[in-house]
Amino acid sequence: MKILLLLTFVPSDSLPPLEVLYASIDSFYAVKTQAELAEYQISKKGEWLKYVPTVGLTYTLDGKPRPAISFSSSVIYRAKKDRQLIVGKRRRIVADNRLAAELDKASVRTLYLEYDQALQEWEMKEEIFRIDRQLLEIDRNRYERLEMAPSTFLQAKRLFLTKRQDHSKAKHQLEELKTKMINAARYKD
C-alpha cells in the first residue's frame, strides 16, 4: 500500500523544453497563415480579361444600329485597387498571425515559469508529506502498543489525511497547469 501511495503522487512525464513549445506555436501559425493566405492567392490567369473593351450595339440619331466599343479607365483603376487590397489583406494576415504567435509564446512562457515554481513547491510538499507519513507510522506503532490514546491517534491520522488531501490538490493543480500550457502551445507528441 505504501508503494502504491508513493507512485500516485510522483509527477507524470516532464514537460518538453520551452524551445519545443515555441516551435509548436510557430508551426501552428505557419499552417494557419498559409491556409488564410490561400483565400487571397493572386492568379495571373485570365487577368487580361479585365482590360478587354466592351463591344456592343448603339443607335444613331436616325435610329440606325451601329457597332460600338467602349473602354473605361475606371476598370484599370479598379483592377489596381483590387490588387492593392488583396496585397494589403495578405500582409495583414501575416502580421496578425505573427502577433498572435508572439502573444501565445508570451503566455506559454508565463505558464512555464508558473509550472516550474509550482513544481518546486510540490517537490517541497512531497518531502514534507513523506516525513508526515513516517510520523503517522510512528504514531500508529505507539497506538498499537497502547502507548497513545485513541483520540490522540485519530487526531494525528486526521491531520495526516488533511495534509494528503492538500498534497493531492497541489498535484492536480500542477497537472492542470501543465495541460493548460501544452494546450496553449498547441503541442502534439
Q: Which of 98, 91, 112, 96 is CA-nearest to residue 26? A: 98
Query: For 52-105, what is each residue's pLDDT tens digit?
Result: 777 887 888 888 888 887 777 777 778 788 889 989 999 999 999 999 999 999
- Of the listed ranges 39-48, 52-61, 75-84, 154-163, the one predicted with least confidence: 39-48
Amino acid 89: pLDDT:
93
**Distance of alpha carbon 67 from alpha carbon 136, whole angstroms:** 106
Query: Confidence class of residue 8 from pLDDT cuts 50, 70 and 90?
Result: very low
Neighbour tally for 18: CB within 10 Å: 16
Helix ranges (H only) for the chain are: 2-8, 18-38, 73-144, 150-184
